[in-house]
Amino acid sequence: MARLGELERAVMEVLWSAPDSCTARDIVTALPDRDLAATTVLTVLSRLERKDLVSRDRDGRAHRYRPTATREQHAAALMYEALATAEDRTAALASFAEQVSAGEAEQLAASLVEALRRRSAARDG
């Protein structure tokens, strides 16, 4: 999973926050402080499409873009990618668990229990 540059991140934030797909013009409008040209946004969207982070559909003469994954799915993929680089994955997981808050640790534990339950059900079903 490719990391996002600053402008890519800003564009993705617009797409993740939008209730529907967006045109390049919609994104320019959503980022008024950046003073972006639509062509710049189209270039960024093209890069994001090559990275499989957005998909596009034709809407008349324009294209509409939407993220291929949620913000949370993207964050999870980045975490998994980072974990894959660790020589000792167990130590990396333990270190991560030490760094999260107590509430986050409880949620992580519950999520792991649920993931194991689903895997077991899929295997047995």
Domain ranges of the chain: 6-67, 86-124
The long-range contacts involving 24-33, CB below 8 angstroms and separated by at least 24 positions, are 24/62, 24/63, 24/65, 25/62, 27/65
Confidence of residue 125 (pLDDT cuts 50, 70, 90): confident
* Percent of the chain scoring above 90 in pLDDT: 93
Segments of 1-125 assigned E as strands: 54-59, 62-67
Q: Which CATH class is domain 6-67?
A: mainly alpha
- Mean pLDDT (whole number) for 31-48: 96
- Mean pLDDT (whole number) for 36-48: 96
Q: What is the pTM of this model?
A: 0.83
Confidence of residue 1 (pLDDT cuts 50, 70, 90): low
**What does the pLDDT read at residue 3?**
76
> For 93-120, what is each residue's pLDDT tens digit?
999 999 999 999 999 999 999 999 999 9
